[in-house]
Structure 1
Amino acid sequence: MSNRVGMLIVAAMALVLVGCAHSPQQLNVQPKVQVPLNPVARNQPVTVTVQDTRSSKVMGTRGGIYPDSSSLTITDQSIPAIRLQVEQSLRQLGFVVVAEGTPNANNLTVNLAELSYSSPADGAYVTQADIGATFAAEARSMNQRYNGRYSASAQHRFGYAPNQATNTKLVTEVMSDALTRVFRDPSIVQILQQ
């Protein structure tokens, strides 16, 4: 009798774990600019705007048997974390980040334009994730404007369904790569130096 009860408990716990394996995940991403930035500016003032302009806050699903219930989103703290990284990068370049509306200040706007995560929909097991991120940036000086789009992507294969910490790490890496491309673009820096 106790053997049967033990088996029932193990089976119930396995069902609970399987049910949780594909629950929605909210990722607290904190992308970083991954290259050293040389101070090339001369304390020019720059205002910063960072926004999430995606059409949907859901970046995709984790796949599995019930993909509709396994959505992936980023937390509300993610955009302020991106803004902080943009401001720190500008300071490393030698700019002075100032408040919106400061006279004679140039502006850098960085929008999170796309963020995607897709897994094959044809299986019960999550074996692959295709992750993509795109930032759209606009640098404005008093008489010039420059727009650019900066994308990165990665494909990862798994022998198991990735947990929230793993997905946070993988999405952060792709976003960091895309954000780094913004600051590798010499045209952004040139416009802001005017």
Structure 2
Amino acid sequence: MSLIGKEVQPFAAKAFHNGEFIDVTEENFKGQWSVVCFYPADFTFVCPTELGDLQDQYAALKELGVEVYSVSTDTHFTHKAWHDHSEAISKIEYIMVGDPSQKLSRNFDVLNEEEGLADRGTFIIDPDGVVQAVEINAGGIGRDASTLVNKIKAAQYVRNNPGEVCPAKWQEGGETLKPSLDLVGKI
């Protein structure tokens, strides 16, 4: 079942952010755009490359009014330890959510039940707390965070311009489409 168009389900979790432990709930995803990036586990191999790449895009995402949340089934304590001991992870400025109960991973349908770990899932959530985009990769396939900037810009454009849609490879300032009878069979 697709999560597109669905509101984020209630949850409560602990997170590590800027040297502190904080509480995170579904309410954090309301009032601003959010990116939630699930990954299997701390202290692994592909995960730090992805989270480092996400940090490289963090300033651009913040300029768009987006907050970023990384999530694994590790605890917030493990996130702090990883942040304190990994050169790549020590640069992370966004929120690192712990999901040892696996509730959040289940809510987003990315939990690998056999392993007890989250799949590589990326979710774009609008200011109403509604999922607008989903990307899920197999464990061995890392994601490219640079694609998030354009996806967010497209999602924000569509939200702010009802009746218009963004075609493939749309870039900010590019032409959009207005679905109508006149376009049927002409694209």
With structure 2 as the length reference, what TM-score do the two structures score? 0.31
Greater fraction strand = 1
Higher fraction of helix: 1
Larger Rg: 1
TM-score for both structures, normalised by structure 1: 0.30
